[in-house]
Amino acid sequence: DGGITQSPKYLFRKEGQNVTLSCEQNLNHDAMYWYRQDPGQGLRLIYYSQIVNDFQKGDIAEGYSVSREKKESFPLTVTSAQKNPTAFYLCASRRTGSRTEAFFGQGTRLTVV
Amino acid sequence: EDKVVQSPLSLVVHEGDTVTLNCSYEVTNFRSLLWYKQEKKAPTFLFMLTSSGIEKKSGRLSSILDKKELFSILNITATQTGDSAVYLCAVALINTGTASKLTFGTGTRLQVTL
């Protein structure tokens, strides 16, 4: 079955540690996105990528980093510079070149203690 | 700065009521507007709108776009408790350079009570 897989579902980390969230898709989509969702809030864009080895900062990129070495994979690293990293993180992908919807993974809930 | 604003932020209705959710936007290079429903984790796709005045309909849900006034509405008729969710509006921009931005609004939390 085609889809987007995020792992892990739940993640706990101590303050000051970097942590990497995984996002893999087998939909052959070009574009991939990372969003952050806080309780009672909408989705805020962290980073997005249209093609391999290229990515753009979203609205809240500070304290985060990404890579796009393969079309299928778009990992997000939450660094110690992110002041308030506890949140729900969603990864999405979509085809480009046409008007298409984005498909989402099931998310990773990160808790920093 | 691209902006997508949804209203109301939250809404409580009784089963059987009709609700209208609003989404307005201020963006450059508009391509399409999308509606999603988020119940627990992953948002699920409802509608994509690209042309003004053409209603999209799926069962009790319908949506329409006004590109002149820069807004869209999502209507839900005869609401059921299963409609309780966060409804998200997003705007996709025409590709600029190598990237295609997809910006979401704050969402509307709908609660349908018996």
What is the pairing mode between strands A108-112 and A10-13? parallel
pLDDT digits (tens, 9 = 90+) for A47-95: 999 889 999 999 999 999 999 999 999 999 999 888 899 999 999 999 8
pLDDT digits (tens, 9 = 90+) for B76-90: 999 999 999 999 999
Q: Does A48 touch chain B (CB under 8 A)?
A: yes
Q: Which two tokens stand for residue B28?
A: 């450059």
* Cβ atoms of residues B89 and B27 within 8 Å: no
pLDDT digits (tens, 9 = 90+) for A83-107: 899 999 999 999 876 578 899 999 9
* Cβ atoms of residues A6 and A93 within 8 Å: no
User: In chain B, which residues have their Cβ closer than 8 Å to the Cβ of A96?
Assistant: 95, 100
CA–CA dist B40, B54 (Å, integer): 30
User: In chain A, which residues have their Cβ closer than 8 Å to the Cβ of B43?
Assistant: 43, 90, 104
Count of positions (residues) in chain B: 114
A82 φ/ψ angles, rounded to the nearest 5 degrees: -75, 120
**Residue B95 pLDDT > 80, yes or no?**
no
Those of residues 5-44 in A touching chain B at CB distance below 8 A are: 31, 33, 35, 40-44
Q: Mutate which of B11, B26, B101 to test chain A, going by most A C-beta atoms within 10 A?
A: B101
HSE at residue B72, side-chain half, CA atoms within 13 A, is 30
**Residue B49 pLDDT > 70, yes or no?**
yes
User: In chain B, which residues have their Cβ closer than 8 Å to the Cβ of A33?
Assistant: 102
Those of residues 14-53 in B touching chain A at CB distance below 8 A are: 31-32, 34, 41-45, 48, 50
CA–CA dist A100, B7 (Å, integer): 25
Q: Determine which helix (DSSP H) or strand (DSSP E) holds A108, and give its type and residue range.
A: strand A108-112
B83 φ/ψ angles, rounded to the nearest 5 degrees: -85, -10
